[in-house]
Structures are given as structure tokens and as C-alpha cells.
Amino acid sequence: MFDKIISSGKLEKKVIESIKIHLKTLCSAAECFRQAISSADKESTFCVAQLEREADTIRREIITTIHQGAFLPFIRPNICRFIEIVDEAFDTLEDAAFEFRYVNNELFKIIEPECSRIAKINSEMCEILSLAFEALIDKGDLKEKNLAIRICEKQIDDLKFDIIEKLRKIEIQNFWDGKIISDFVDYLTRLSDLLEDASDYLYIIEISLK
Amino acid sequence: MNTKVKEIMNIKLETIKPDASVYDAIEKLVDKRMRSLIVLPKNENDVYGVITVRDIVFKVIAKNLDPKKIKIEEIASKPVISIDKETELEHLIRLMEKFNIARVFVHEGKEIIGVVSLLDVLSASLVAKARSK
């Protein structure tokens, strides 16, 4: 698929390899977060911030290389937008990890099964997004990956509904406890929306190349 | 596909007493956006049952019966078909096909802990396929 725009260019190959690393870093961050949530180990969430910083460096390199002339101009905005959405996903994951460290343990226990499930699905979605990018490059079945990501997003939407239903029944005594748990759930569930957007962008890139 | 049912089951379960009315069940199903409810055992010697939207439509609505006058125990299916949480997906699919059922409950010991529907099976198989290179 990318044969049309790469033309064996060194810069293009460099960008593609960097995007692959960027996405693998996202997978690592999501998996690290999943383990922290399922073990309720707040200290181990610091790995997310560390991986986000690494990803920031990779993102800058990618954008710089694109502006040095990688890819034909018509495709550059789409690739840049894809990278930005993945970057937003990193930020959202980092925010979720940050809020998790301050979440009231008693409140978290109530929604722990749903949160663990969401973190697991998020991690799987990151993995599928990485495979989707490889499918775009290697002429694989991108549509199949795109559908799987949409299914996962829908599952998280349903789980979000269950969490909100549970939380609404609880009387919050402390403003910050309420705000933090609400923000935590918001970030945790927003990640899947961004991953779906990123997957849609890959599909748009593929369509635009046909 | 070596997925186990515990990985894909829905843990959101709602129960209803056998002496409640079908109307109570309808309210619960609509409020909770669910398609089936676990019917609690009547006593220690009794077993869990299940009532589905299908039961309500075919056994009450279609026969022009008043849902407020029919008790759950009159139309519920007993015993509930359930499988162990460690069961593999292939086995679950065979069971669903054999009994022509759209959802199967999942147990751990004697306790029912989840439910798996045909849509969950379809979603899990599509996601598993997408995850394989």
C-alpha cells in the first residue's frame, strides 16, 4: 500500500519504523497500566509516565522527519494527525495513571472488576492498533483490525455504563474523592475512543491511497 | 482459539425471586438493559432458574396474558444451563449449538458468576483473529 508513496525513500522508512516503535511503546504503557490496576499497585503506575516521555521523543523525531520531506505532501497531514491521536492516547493513559494514584481505595474496590476489564481491553486495543499499522504497510487485512477495535470500544462503552450506574448509588462524603474517581473513570474509558479514532485514521489513509 | 469463558463473560448479573411477577422482571430487564435474569432458588432444595425476554414474549405477551398476574416461577426455565469458568470457547459453542441457546451462564463452584451470549462469542472470535498476525 505504501509503495505508492514511499518510493524506497530513506526518510519514509525511518518514519515507518519510528511509528512502529511509537505504537509498541503505547502497548507497553497500556500493559503496564493493566498490571498496576489488576494488582491495585499504585506505585507501579509510574512506568506509564516514563514510557510517555519516551514516546514524546519518538513523536518529535517522526514529525521532524516528515517535515524534512518524508512522504508526498498530500499524505503528510493524515500521518501527522494519526501520530497526534496516538500522542493524545498516551496523555490520556498518563492522566488515568496519575488519578489512579490518588483514588480512594474503598471507592475503587466497588468498580475494580469493571476497571480491570477495561484496562485489559485497552491493552488489547493498543496491540491491535499496532497490528493495524503493520497491516497498512504490509497490505494486510486492515478492515478486520478496524472492526475488532470497534468491537472493543463498544465493550468499554457498556462497562462505562455499568461503572456509572454503580457510582451513582454511592454517597460521596469528600469532594476530592468524588472528583478523582470521576476523572479516573473518564480517562480510563476515553482511551478507547482515541484508539478507535486512530484506527479510523489508518483506514482513511488506506482509502485515500486506493 | 484457546480463549476461556471467564475471559469473555459478562459479570453483570441480576436476580429475581420466583414469586415476583413477570411485570417486575420486565421492569428490571428494561432498567438494566439486560436480556435475562437469574431466578433465585425457592428454598435450599431448589436450583437456580432463568427467565429471558424470549420467555416473556412467547409465554406471556403472545398469549395475551397479564404480566402482573403471572409469577416468574410459572414461566422460568429450570435448572439453568451453566458451565465452569475454565471451559474453553469451542466447548461453549458446541453446547450452544446442541441446546439451541443464545446465552449460557458461568459458574465457579456452586455460584453463578457470569453469562456469555452468542454476541460475546462472535466478538471474542473476531478480536482473537485480529490479534493474530
Q: A100-156, pLDDT tens digit by residue? A: 999 999 999 999 999 999 999 999 999 999 999 999 998 889 999 999 999 999 999
Mean pLDDT across chain A: 92
Question: Which among A113, A117, A148 has CB closest to B126?
Answer: A148
Which residues have a Cβ under 8 Å from the Cβ of B30 and sit 6 or more positions away?
none
Query: Rounded distance, CA A90 to CA A29, Å?
Result: 8
Residues from chain A contacting residue B126 (CB–CB below 8 Å): 144, 147-148, 151
Residues from chain B contacting residue A114 (CB–CB below 8 Å): 11
Q: Which residue of A has its CA nearest to B9?
A: A117
CA distance A143 to chain B (A): 9
Rg, chain B, Cα only: 16
Per-residue pLDDT at A2 exceeds 70: no
Per-residue pLDDT at A93 exceeds 70: yes
Its CATH class, for the domain covering A3-209, is mainly alpha
CA distance B129 to chain A (A): 8
pLDDT in tens, A36-79: 999 988 988 999 999 999 999 999 999 999 999 888 888 889 99
Query: Rounded distance, CA A149 to CA A144, Å?
Result: 9
Determine contact: B123 vs chain A, CB below 8 A. yes
Total domain count, chain B? 1
CA distance A14 to chain B (A): 22
pLDDT band at A98, cuts 50/70/90? very high
Note whether A128 contacts B130, CB cutoff 8 Å.
yes
Which residues 24-53 on chain B approach chain A with CB closer than 8 angstroms?
33
The predicted pLDDT at position A7 comes to 54
Note whether A145 contacts B133, CB cutoff 8 Å.
no
Residue segments in chain B with a per-residue pLDDT below the cut of 50: none
The predicted pLDDT at position B32 comes to 84
Of A96, A114, A90, which Cα lies nearest the Cα of A167?
A: A114
The predicted pLDDT at position A3 comes to 62
Question: Which among A114, A151, A161 has CB closest to B127?
Answer: A151
B56 alpha-carbon distance from chain centroid: 14
The predicted pLDDT at position B3 comes to 85
Residues from chain B contacting residue A131 (CB–CB below 8 Å): 130-131, 133
Q: Which residue of B has its CA nearest to A162?
A: B12
Determine contact: B63 vs chain A, CB below 8 A. no
Give me the residues paired with residue B16 across strands: B39
The predicted pLDDT at position A91 comes to 96
CA distance A151 to chain B (A): 6
Query: Rounded distance, CA A209 to CA A206, Å?
Result: 5
Per-residue pLDDT at A180 exceeds 80: yes
Determine contact: B129 vs chain A, CB below 8 A. yes
Q: In CATH, what number is assigned to the domain containing residue B22?
A: 3.10.580.10
Contact predicate A189/A167, CB 8 Å = no
Note whether B130 contacts A155, CB cutoff 8 Å.
no
The predicted pLDDT at position A72 comes to 85
- For residue B76, the enclosing domain spans 5-131
Determine how β-strand B36-39 pairs with β-strand B49-52: antiparallel
The predicted pLDDT at position B44 comes to 84
Per-residue pLDDT at A4 exceeds 90: no
Residues belonging to chain A with any Cβ–Cβ distance to chain B shorter than 8 Å: 113-114, 117, 124, 127-128, 131, 134, 144-145, 147-149, 151-152, 155, 161-162
The predicted pLDDT at position A80 comes to 93
Determine contact: B11 vs chain A, CB below 8 A. yes
The predicted pLDDT at position A6 comes to 57
DSSP collapsed to 3 states, chain B? CCCEHHHHCECCCCEECCCCEHHHHHHHHHHCCCCEEEECCCCCCCCCEEEEHHHHHHHHHCCCCCCCCCEHHHHCECCCCEEECCCEHHHHHHHHHHHCCCEEEEEECCEEEEEEEHHHHHHHHHHHHHHCC
Contact predicate A75/A63, CB 8 Å = no
Quick one: DSSP state of residue A139? Answer: T
